[in-house]
A and B are shown apart, each in its own frame.
Chain A
Amino acid sequence: MRRLICAVTLILACAQSVSAQTAYPMLMSLKPVAVQVGTTSEITVNSRYSMHAAESVLITGGGVLAEVIPPEVTKVDKAPNVLALKIKFVVAADASPGVRDLRVLTAQGVSTVAQLVVVEDPVIAENPKNDTVVEAQPITLPATVCGCIEKAEDVDFYKFKIDAPTSLIFHVRSQRLQDRIHDLQAHSDPILTIRNAQGSTIAASDNAFFADPFLSHRFEQPGEYLLEIRDVRFTGNQYWEYAVEIHSRPFVRTAYPLAITAGKESKLTAIGYQLPADPSVTLTPASDLPLGINRLRLPFAQRPSNPVPLYVTALPTIAETTEDNNAPEKVITDLKSEISNLKSQITIPCVINGRIESPGDIDCFAFEAKKDDKLSFEVKARRLQSELDSTIRILNSTGATLAENDDARFGKRGSADSWIETWTAPADGKYVLEIRDMHLRGGDSFVYAIEVAPARPYFNLQADTDKTNFSPGVNGVMWVKVERKNGFTGAVQLHVDGLPAGVTAECGRILPDKGTDGCIVFKATPEAGRAVSPIVIRGTAVQAQADGQMTELSATATTYQETYQPGGGRGHWPVEQHVLAVIPAHDIRGIKLSAADITLKPGESKTIDVTIERAPDFKANISLDVTMTHLSLFADTLPPGVTLDGNKSRTLLSNGATQGTITLTASKEAAPIERQLIGLTANISLNFVVKTTFSAEPVFVTVAKP
């Protein structure tokens, strides 16, 4: 018996370590997609690529614990292909409702992201046979109905009873849960319809929160009603899960003012549906709240609201104080008067809290600037669920337009919020900042916050991608891109916070001036075990200011998950965390280099011999690289003028080959650089877009002086 157990264990262990073209799991859906606070429930995670040997589940935010329910082992001689995995969730009663990022850690690596919805009401899973009115699934309210628009022409019907006149919220989440799914090349666009007992439509919603519907409806007549949900195009997909929260509580869309100060009491007015008669609340946000967008629950008397995005700032806030500011001339009425006497004057820096109260409303704010002052004007509205699609202008005192902006780009994604990033005052004088809705709409929910600040040099960082899986003996690498702002030219030194024990990181730098990319190479010692942890990537730099002073700058990287675009391109979507995972060695067990510290003279080439230790039965192609390339170039940490000589390098190792070469050539114009960290990688294609990347030890390239 003991021999049998040992044999089984050994076989299992072998099953875990012997693999070919191993891929980390790519999560596709959760079924049901929601869990209720204060309950324990089971959810099935569906994936592409196996989740066998799943060990744990990582969830952002607090109050939600999850554990893998191991599937039955049916065959011991072969690694099972686990594409559906049950997970048990225990959700604390005080867990904050909302959407969380979720990953599964397996022996193949930590997965891509799926999104879980934490809700306050009982979760009702869809009965698969609810596709006709006759088969409508009875539900009891309040509830969160979770289902799937699983195929073309699928229409899901539910029926519920109203005993007395009441107002109900129907809040659908579906499309919004799909942007972080790595390989879902078409997204849902649900439409919700409510019918009375006679089958007549009484309300419908298509796109309220982007593609997701939302209804607040007053039911005056008791009786039975039908809820119908489908894709607006009558298409479907097995991964198009949805959650419809149905309840009679208040729903807060946004609040005014939008910008608040950490640790400081703020009086807010909730804006939304089915609100209390007095929708105002007093909120004192925690003093340790991070700056930026935070989702906070408003303290209504009966119970806290749903989380509402608010902007936490350290800058002084100014509230729009007058209605009579809807034309430039109204805020600069007397050029000779002191600006401090004007009603809609602002001092810089500040965050203006305002609202476009009615259709066609325009808000103007006056400010003073000196010649060559550089200022930034950033609207935060749409990103905080305001209905505003802003457009802003800077006008001079005669009303001429000096600068304007409609939509801005933040990192890799565009937004309907506006941003004049760097405006230079042409002369000393008074100017006007004007904001309105691009479509001349207005109303309670058209709130905004405008951050007005000096446009000093700074930088942003983007981490590509969102996870690094590596093993003892084979390193991992991640790439970081810099976005230089307002003339920032410095070098950026990268840092990592939150490394688990047994894991070290060689943090590279992003070269100054035109340098765009840097990398970090992770190494795990055997003592690291099966470490897994979210990490924070930071960058620091020193920038010379105009007055000659040196200022220290820092930034935390935004993490982007790679996504598979329709047709095969590689896209990005921001996620909450970058996760490191130390996993058992699989396809590539080691990468040995003949040299890891290379010095090149301008015009010189040098070759690094690369020896790959493959897993015994792993014969698939391996491509060597010193950049991050998936059909196109995404990151290049080589010093300027240094390139990979494709003709002299042997980068494609096919049919089980283990020997390759990397030849680097410095051009004759290459400038001197000391020890620039580059990522030398061995890559295995998983599909048209995605690769598994293994890194060699850190390689440093120096370009000597001529």
Chain B
Amino acid sequence: MNRLLLAVVVSFVGNLFAQPTMADGPDGFSVTPAEVRLTGNLARAQLVVTRADAGGQVGERSDDLTHGAAFQSSDVNVVSVDSRGQVLAKANGSAKVSVKIGDAMKEVTVTVAKVEPTAKVGFVEQVTPILNKAGCSMGACHAAQYGQGGFKLSVFGSELDQDREAIVRDRAQRRLSLVEPGESLFLKKPTMQLPHGGGKRLAVNSVDYELLKAWIANGALAPDAKAPLVTKVSVFPAKRVGVVGLKQQLRVEATYSDGTTRDVTAWAKYDSMDDGMMSVNGDGLVTVTGQGQAPVMVRFEGQAEIALFVIPYRDSVELTGWQNNNFIDELASAKFKELGIDPSPLCDDATFLRRAFLDATGSLPTIEETTAFLADTDANKRTKLIDRLLGLTGDPKLDIYNDAYSAWWTLKWSDLLRNTTAGRAEQGMWSMHNWLRTVFRENSPYDRLVRELVTAKGSVFSNGPANYYSVNNNPTEATEATVQLFLGVRMECAKCHHHPFEKYTQGDYYGFAAFFARVSNKGSEEFGLFGGESVVIIRNAGEVNHPKTGKRLPPTPLEGEPIDHPLDRRIALADWMTSKENAMFARSIVNRYMGYLMGRGLVDPVDDMRSTNPPSNPPLMDALAKHFADSGFNLKQLMRTIMTSRLYQLDSQPTATNASDHRFYSYYRVKRLSAESLLDAIDRAAGTQTKFKNLPLGTRAIELPDAEYPDFFLNVFAKPKRASVCECERSPDENLAQALHTLNGDILANKIADAKGRIAKLLTAEKDKPAKSHDEIVRELYLAALCRLPSDAELAASKQFLNTAGSPKECYEDLLWALINSKQFLFVR
């Protein structure tokens, strides 16, 4: 028995470490690349071994077998291969590298050329990638403002000549020994043969070490101005779908400006974009530890790419009861199936009503609107409500929320466009404010809105969009604002150096800035004696030069060729930006609106769209963008499409199976009411009004035109100062001050106890009408605050509370206080 048990155990344990077995079929695995060409001394390449299906095909679900395979070179004098599948050039010639998995074997032909007796090591081609890989040129190390230990490199090797000088010539050339390269400080420090604050960055006799040594031995040659530059990187595999525990070796290939390609797996930098889900080491080996979907960012010499990992939560889901209302639901449900996520059910009518009102208009419904909606039995009432909120019915008697809609979205866009009186005449702020109100009231197409802003000119008092250039009054500010607002790209980093996570260079940055180089302003007396407004104009001259090369840069859109216009370059920019063919434009705005309505964009943050930060559902992103462009860039239709989807109407309560999803909208993402919306909601619930400085009583907080008002409540709840175009300036995060404010603050307490407020009126009998009963009062408070009726249990509890309260007034004030402090009130859910 013991032996039998032992045999079983041994068999079991053996199976744990068994070699991966072949799939049925003629092959069982494939090797990528099928053939390798290595050029130059110490050239390397990574082999990736993938399980094939019965038909010999590999796909995104195919297992990686690289680190379980056995590799052997037929001629180690020509090429060697290590256990990780990395081949290394030794001498010119050809050899075969065998890859064995179990009994199956394949061979890869490796050809080596241009191996010289004295290695030709280029500063651009090899030295800089080694320094970047080792982390020497990071901002935290030698690329810090003053370098480290007196040794200063440029960020990510953006200044090749400067870096070479620092290595070779600075400090009386102490860093290199051309006679005995191995004795160079440049090598001894990173290998920890001498103390090094940055730790061990190189191993003696490693490939990178030998290359650097060879470079020194050859005289530490300067960068070759004609050396080809990297134009693209590609990653294999681009996408993997698997299970927890998955391991995947990545292979990275760089394409150069001379058309050549090179395996740069060993030099690429790898970052997991979700550490909770997976990790990746410096060799490009990914290990998955959690479920979800996230990319690994791969960077090499200014280019970046991703490998996407999808680890479903479950093998399959039924999506019971799911119905597709539109293409959003189709594509969302496809993602649910891919990830094995079961979405939450639909929210109830009261929740939907409150959510839709707040999301579309920033306002709560009235009690009358609430009771009417809840009582309505029309199966299409939700869609009809959306149409009314967005003013799309065509009937003036029903389209009564247009002013609230325009006020709410004017507030949002005023934050983004930084419309404020700070440093500007008040009339300019009002001009832009009123222009935005008109834009949203009339539902102007979004491309027109952007065009008017980008090409704005004229009086800042009379022409609202002209204030865009009062706020962004130089080319660099205009550049950063324009690309972030309308293309969702954060370009600030590229102002000083190559963007760390994107492909944009300083040349791209300043080439874009050239569009704004001729924007200027003049004074005007058109507003009479005291007018004093300025007028935005376009001068005939004005250029932008590259800050380092001094070269004049023609106006150039992102990833495009230079474009121009004889009278106003911004016209060419606006044409390019708003073109239906410009995917960035439509994607940026639909992503924003998904973020506003769904609580999180398909790309998050919503204004950080880059290849290394992909959307959570690329097909949905593309479909929404196309739909939006085809609609004529109609913002109300975009909102309608999103809000009428089933996806938008899901309950905010996650289920046991989807609670760990934070990206795929399997439940509605709760978000805190914004400062202004919250203050208005409190006033609605309490039956009061807030008086704002210099605005008549009755002005709602969502109608506030300026950035700052001396209102403590708005400041505590993070009304932004409009100092940044970043969506993040309005922090959605809750904090202790806010909690204390609603729990203990005077503002709320005074509103609730206001002598003319709701509770006071409820307790005052109206002439010729009976006094309201307790139940009626409680119902009204729930409807006013939470847009629903109280449950039987809540009603019963309130009666108990009435019995113990000092007075009815105290009871109802406390009840209203509790309702306002509840999550159901404070959050859009």
Contacts and interface: CB of A to CB of B under 8 A. Distances in A.
Contacts of A207: 431, 459, 461-462
Contacts of A204: 434, 437-438
B525 A413 contact: yes
B527 interface: yes
Contact of B528 (A185, A191, A210, A415): A210
Contact of A415 (B434, B522, B525): B525
A155 B703 CA distance: 16
A198 interface: yes
Contacts of A233: 426-427, 430, 694
Contacts of B579: none
Contact of B694 (A153, A211, A414): A153
A210 B399 contact: no
Contact of B430 (A232, A401, A565): A232
A705 interface: no
Contacts of A200: 396, 399-400, 402-403
A196 interface: yes
B528 A206 contact: no
A416 B524 contact: yes
A439 B530 contact: no
A563 B529 contact: yes
Q: How extensive is the interface on chain A, given as a class? A: 35 or more
B767 interface: no
B3 interface: no
B692 to A, nearest CB: 10
A651 interface: no
Contacts of B694: 152-153, 233-235
Contact of A201 (B403, B461, B526): B403
A179 interface: yes
Nearest to A393: B540
B397 A232 contact: no
A153 B529 CA distance: 23
A178 B462 contact: no
Given A153-B696, A233-B426, A440-B568, A201 B527 contact: no
Contacts of A175: 527-528
B529 A176 contact: no
B530 A198 contact: no
Interface in A167-187: 175-176, 178-179, 185-187
A221 interface: yes
B530 A210 contact: no
A440 B567 contact: yes
B422 to A, nearest CB: 16
A198 B400 contact: yes
Q: How extensive is the interface on chain B, given as a class? A: 35 or more
Contacts of B535: 389, 438
Contacts of A506: none
A439 B456 CA distance: 9
Contacts, number: 107
B695 interface: yes
B530 A185 contact: yes
A99 B306 CA distance: 70
B503 interface: no
A378 interface: no
A576 interface: no
B430 A198 contact: no
Contact of A573 (B397, B399, B524, B529): B529
Contacts of B530: 185-187, 565-566
Contacts of A55: none
Contact of A211 (B461, B525, B538, B567): B461
A234 B695 contact: yes
Contacts of B431: 206-207, 232
A341 B697 CA distance: 69
Which residue of B430, B457, B458, B528 has the most chain A CB atoms within 10 A of its CB atom?
B528
Interface in A230-264: 232-235
Contacts of B567: 360, 436, 440
Contacts of A389: 458, 535
Nearest to B441: A201
Nearest to B466: A439
A221 B400 contact: no
A210 B526 CA distance: 6
Interface in B66-114: none
Contacts of A416: 524, 526
A200 B396 CA distance: 8
Contacts of B229: none
Contacts of B438: 204
B403 A232 contact: no
A573 B530 CA distance: 11
B537 interface: yes
Interface in A559-618: 563, 565-566, 571, 573
A235 B695 CA distance: 9
A438 B431 CA distance: 20
Given A210-B526, A566-B530, A153 B400 contact: no
Contact of A189 (B403, B427, B537, B696): B427
B533 to A, nearest CB: 9
Which residue of A179, A199, A436 has the most chain B CB atoms within 10 A of its CB atom?
A179
A386 to B, nearest CB: 13
Interface in B506-552: 522-531, 535, 537-538, 540
A407 interface: yes
B402 A201 contact: yes
B397 A198 contact: yes
B529 A438 contact: no
A1 to B, nearest CB: 54
Contacts of B696: 153, 155, 234
A178 B403 contact: no
A414 B529 CA distance: 10
A233 B431 CA distance: 10
Interface in A198-235: 198-201, 204, 206-207, 210-211, 221, 232-235
A444 interface: no
A179 B527 CA distance: 9
Contacts of A153: 694-697
A440 B458 CA distance: 10
A414 B430 contact: no
A439 B458 contact: yes
Given A152-B694, A201-B441, A440-B568, A211 B528 contact: yes
Interface in B394-435: 396-397, 399-400, 402-403, 406, 426-427, 430-431, 434
B701 to A, nearest CB: 15
A126 interface: no
A322 B538 CA distance: 27
A406 B462 CA distance: 19
B400 A199 contact: yes
A414 B434 contact: no
A298 to B, nearest CB: 25
Nearest to B536: A439
Contact of A199 (B403, B459, B540): B403
Interface string A349-373: 0000000000010000000000000
Which residue of B397, B529, B535 has the most chain A CB atoms within 10 A of its CB atom?
B529
B396 A191 contact: no
Contacts of A198: 396-397, 400
Contact of B434 (A232, A407, A436): A232
Given A200-B403, A201-B441, 16 more contacts: A153-B697, A176-B528, A189-B461, A196-B396, A198-B396, A199-B400, A201-B406, A232-B430, A234-B694, A401-B540, A416-B524, A438-B457, A438-B537, A440-B538, A440-B571, A565-B530
30 contacts: A152-B694, A153-B696, A176-B528, A187-B528, A187-B530, A189-B527, A191-B430, A199-B400, A199-B403, A200-B399, A200-B400, A201-B403, A204-B434, A206-B431, A207-B461, A210-B527, A210-B528, A210-B531, A211-B528, A221-B396, A232-B430, A233-B430, A234-B696, A382-B526, A389-B535, A414-B524, A415-B525, A440-B571, A571-B529, A573-B529
Which 7 A-B pairs have CB atoms at the shortest separation, nearest pair first?
A207-B462, A153-B696, A439-B457, A414-B525, A179-B528, A232-B430, A179-B529
